[in-house]
Structure formats: structure tokens, C-alpha cells
Chains A and B, each alone.
Chain A
Amino acid sequence: MINGSKQKRVLSKRRKDMIFVACLVFVPLMQYFVFYICVNFNSILLAFQQYNIGDGETPGRYVFAGFVNFKKIYDEFISDGLILSCVKNSLMFYLINLVVGTGLGLTFSYYIARKRFASKLFKLILFMPSIISSIVLVTLFKYFANYAVPQIINNTFGTNVKALISTRQTAFGSIVFYNIWAGFGTAILLYSGAMSNVSESVIEAAKIDGAGPVREFIHVVLPLIFPTFKTFIVNGVAIVFASDMCLFSFFGTDAERYLWTFGYYLLRGARLASLSEYPYLAAIGVVLTMVCVPLTFSVRYLLTKYGPSID
């Protein structure tokens, strides 16, 4: 009898919990359904459609068009060179950022986590670009690189240097430099946070074994923070074709075509495109997603399999 009433109470509590959880997650899940599932499903549908402009009586509407948009992408890939240039720029940007940006980010974070001279101040300064609007920082950097730097070089070395952001030879390099220079913020915060959690006794043990800071970093700290590092790398691959390299902040919709990345191509398209151009942009998105998904999962698999072990 007592057991029965206890069971009843547990069941009633479980039912109340269930109703409460359902109330909490209902609205967020609806939001997710409309703005993630439906948006992406609609994106796939759009990729196979074309916009028929209506006449006076019938309004314009999207109609099924098979693989027309994909064929257009293929044709442009062969003839135009723009898509190839976007692939090249997106990948180059990712790789340079990965090697230089992540390398510097990790070493700077190590310095901060080991609480060396002025580490708190450096952490504050490294995070600062993240809180300044990209349009502000880009404008300051752009004008400085276009007007001040050439004048300094001309006055100091007598060499004639043109505006760095507006000259073909220096534009891509300068913009990649900007992205690394202004992009340490979150990485520094999370890497140094993870490094600070490495037990002092492990570091001490490594020191007793004769490890210097470099060996300590490579053989002790890096393996221990590898999950954080892996998260960053995997997320980086996932957005390799989504990053606009801040080109929109630098040039608005007028960036030179040789600088374009896919992220910029799509953002510019979303800003300027009419209803009839949405399907083509959606098709590019579908193609890029199909390339990115296996790439991301492969990188994740390789890092999990061959990444350093804590042992």
C-alpha cells in the first residue's frame, strides 16, 4: 500500500516534470523548426527553382526548374573564373589564418595562462578588437594602411608605396593581416581559460623531468587543451566558405572581384539580389554545404584519431 502510494507520487512528479520541460522547450523548438529546419529546407528547394516574373494579373512566383541553377554554377566555374578565385581566396585565407593566427593565438594564450609579465594587461588588449565594431576598426585600419603607412615609408625610406588596401599587389595580404591582427579575441579567452585549468602539479612534474617552456607547451599543455583546440579547428573548417574576410566592412558591395571569398559573394548577393537571383545563390549555398560537410567531419575524425593523447 505504502509502496503503491510512493510509486504514484513518483509518477505524478515525473509527469509534472515532463509538462514543465515541455513548456520550457516548446517555444525554442518551434523557433528552431521555423528558422533552422524550414529555412534550410527552403534553401534546398530554392536551389531547384526559378522565379517567374508575373504579369499584371498573376503575381510572380517560384517554379521548379530542375538543375538549371547548378548548371549555371558549373558554366560559370568553367568560363568566368570568379568561382575558382573565390575557392582559392577562401582556402588561402583559412590556411594562413590557421597557421599564423592559431599559432600566435596559442602562444600568446600560453604566455597569459602562465601569468608572465603584464599578462592581464595583454589579455585585455588582445580582446579589445572583439568589442569594437568591425566597421570602426576596419575604417581605422583601412585609412591608416592607405594614407599613413605609405607616407611613413615614403618619408623614411624614400620608396614610393601606394595605398595598401587599394593596390592589387598588397590588398589581399593586407586584408588577411587585418583579420589575424584583429581576430585574437575569443580564441585568446578560451585557450587561456583552458590552459589555466591545467593542473600546476602536471607542469611541475614536467619541469622536474627537465622540460623547458617549449617542451612543456608541446608535450604537456597542448595535449591537455586539445579538445578546445579541436573545437576551434573544426569550427574553422565549418565556416571556411562562410567567412567574408571583413570585405563587406572594407568595401561594402564594391570589393574588387580578385578579392572575393564565398562568404562575401553570398553576403553581397543577399544584400543586392532580387527575388529572381535568390535561387542561384541558394544553389551555391547547397553546393558549398555539400563540400563543407564531409570536409568538416573528415577533419574532426582525423583530429580525434591522430591528435595528441593525454597519456
Chain B
Amino acid sequence: MKKEKSKIINISPLWIVLGILLLIYSVSLFVPIVWGFLTSFKGKLEFVRNKFGLPEEWMFSNYSTVLKYFFIPLDAAHGLRKVYIGEMLINSIFYAVGSALLQALVQFVTAYAAARFNFKIGKIIYTIVILGMIIPIVGSEPSALAIADALNLRDKIIGIYVMKSYFLGMYFLVFYETLRAFPKDFAEAAYIDGAGNFTVMIKIMAPLSATTYFTIALLLFVQFWNDYTTPMLYMPNVPTLAYGLYYFVDLSRINEVNSQPMRLAACIMMVIPTLALFLAFHNKLLSNVTIGGVKE
């Protein structure tokens, strides 16, 4: 009892102030989301006079209207082609899942070569990654577009895979630290038993790094799922959901959906799968990655 009392008295004012600040921040984050959710059920006219209150009439039909008009018109050989939400969803899955798995794989493989073998190329790769992080390259997009055009990689999912399969970036360092941390004995025992390098990598090191791989792939997946600028620039004719949403919110001029409640309904629809994924895997996403490695 006494101990508890002294613990309460010992709470520094700093913690109280920070706790209050964090509480205010948390509320501030949810207010626009809740407001957006409620507004998405309002009619166009109701929104003009009632911007903050609850909907007078709950327009659930807003969501079906959004689904009906959520498309991107594209020029095709035989005229105008409309890409609807179903096709965008498939494109998003191919883009986000494929790019995330491939990029994580390339970073794992390169980090494995650099971390587990004592060759000069490993040190060169490590230096390239560090330099890539601190040397700022600004404005190379036009050149990248020109090269993508020259290699015929634009407007192709495979083209995006090729462009996104790079080893540069922070996650290489995470893999590198993780792989270096494994004791050499694990691999040595397998080598003595006659295993080759490939078997050791696939049957011993890959399962040991599976948690790290999964976490990084998940972080990359969220990043690619939400990315609309890459599809906008590199595959405008293979639109993803994120690009579709950008188009719907900023460029679509269809009368039926040209209102704030409709655009907010589209946003809420898009955010639900990501939030569900986040809530399901938040323990993995939030506890594993540190800049010096992965806490197991």
C-alpha cells in the first residue's frame, strides 16, 4: 500500500504532460476519420448546410454509387475502356504482393551474400547501400521514365517488378544485421554433413530469418499498396486501387459522385482493408524492426 502510494507521488509532471499531449494527439487523429465516416453517409445538399453534425438521413446508397462510378477511363485501340474496381484490385494485389515479396527477397539474398561470406564484393555492396542512403539524388525521374520507355517496361507489371527489385535501402541493413548475428556454427554443422551453400541458405538461414522476412515484406506491402505515384507514372494503363482513388478524388468529374460525401465514402472504403491488416498484424509490424537489427 505504502509502496503504491509512493509510486503515485513519484510520477513526474513530465510524464503527465506527455501523456496528455499523446492523448490530445490520438483524439486529433481519430476526429477527422470519424468525421469523414459520418460525412460519407450524408447527401450532397445536406453536407452544404450540415457539415459537422450527424447525418439527418443515412445515405447508405453513397457506397453503392461510389462502387458504380469508381473507374478510370483509358484510351484503348477500340475506343474508351473503363477500368473498374475489380480490375484495379487485381492490379493492386499483383503490384503490392509481387513487388513486396521480390524486393524483400532481393534484399535478403544480397544481404546474405554480404553478411555471411568474406569477399570484397560484400563490402562493396554494403558501401553502395550506405552511400545510396546519404548521397541525395534529386530529380532523376525523367531519366528513369526515359529508360523504362527504352526498355519497354512501362505499363507492365513485370516491368515494375524489375524496377522495384533493388537492394538499396534501410531493409537491406536490417537483413544484414540479422544474418550477421547468427552464429557460424549453425552453417558449419550443415557443411560438415555435406550440405552445399544453397542448401544452407534455403534450409537453415532462410527459416531462421523468416520472421524478419515476413515483417519487412509486410511493411513493403503496405507501402506499395498505398503508393499511387509509381502506378501513375510507370503504369497508367494498369491502374491500381490507390491510383484509382487519386483519380476518383482529384480528377473524376462525374456528376453523380462529384461531392465531398461521395469522395469521403471512397476513402473510407479504401482504408478499411489496410486498417484490418494493420490491426491483425500490428504486433509484428511494431515490435520487430529496429535500425540496428530485428528484435526477436
Residues of chain A touching chain B, judged by Cβ–Cβ distance below 8 Å, are 16-18, 20-22, 24-25, 27-29, 31-32, 34-36, 38-40, 42-43, 46, 104, 107-108, 110-111, 114, 116-118, 121-136, 139-141, 143-144, 147-148, 151-152, 155, 181, 189-190, 193-194, 197, 212-214, 228, 231, 234-235, 237-242, 248-249, 251-252, 262, 266-267, 269-271, 273, 278-279, 281-282, 284-286, 288-289, 292-293, 296-297, 300
Contact = CB atoms under 8 A, between A and B. Distances in A.
Contact of B143 (A40, A110, A123, A242): A40
Given A135-B246, A238-B134, A194 B14 contact: no
Contacts of A278: 142-143, 145-146
Contacts, number: 270
B139 A143 contact: no
Interface stretch (B54-62, B160-168, B176-184): B160-168
B163 A35 contact: yes
B51 interface: yes
Contact of B168 (A36, A123, A144, A214): A36
A136 B271 contact: yes
Contacts of A27: 106, 165
A132 B279 CA distance: 12
Given A42-B147, A144-B32, A238 B135 contact: yes
Given A20-B198, A132-B271, 7 more contacts: A17-B119, A35-B166, A111-B18, A139-B263, A181-B25, A252-B250, A282-B142
B18 A46 contact: no
Max count, chain A CB within 10 A of own CB: residue among B18, B121, B263: B18
A290 B216 CA distance: 33
Given A36-B166, A189-B289, A241-B136, A111 B143 contact: no
Contacts of A35: 144, 147, 163, 166
B134 A296 contact: yes
A249 B249 CA distance: 10
Contact of A135 (B128, B139, B242): B242
A143 B260 contact: yes
A252 B267 contact: no
Nearest to A253: B250
Interface stretch (B73-81, B83-91, B221-229): B221-229
Given A131-B222, A212-B12, A278-B142, A20 B197 contact: yes
Given A38-B147, A135-B242, A117 B19 contact: yes
A123 B34 CA distance: 20
21 contacts: A21-B119, A21-B122, A24-B110, A28-B167, A36-B166, A122-B22, A129-B29, A132-B226, A133-B274, A134-B226, A140-B32, A147-B51, A148-B52, A155-B52, A193-B295, A262-B138, A266-B139, A278-B142, A278-B143, A288-B139, A297-B134
Nearest to B245: A135
A281 B142 contact: yes
A193 B291 contact: yes
A189 B137 CA distance: 26
Contact of A139 (B132, B146, B264): B264
B94 interface: no
A43 B143 contact: yes
Contact of B285 (A116, A127, A289): A127
A197 B274 contact: no
A43 B25 contact: no
A144 B196 CA distance: 60
Interface string B33-53: 101100100000001000110
B270 interface: yes
Contact of A267 (B51, B229, B267): B229
Contacts of B193: none
B186 interface: no
Contact of B144 (A28, A39, A181): A39
A131 B278 contact: yes
For the complex of A and B, 6 pairs with smallest distance between CB atoms:
A285-B139, A193-B290, A43-B143, A133-B226, A278-B142, A292-B136
A21 B113 contact: yes
Nearest to A42: B143
A16 B22 contact: no
A214 to B, nearest CB: 6
B19 A118 contact: yes
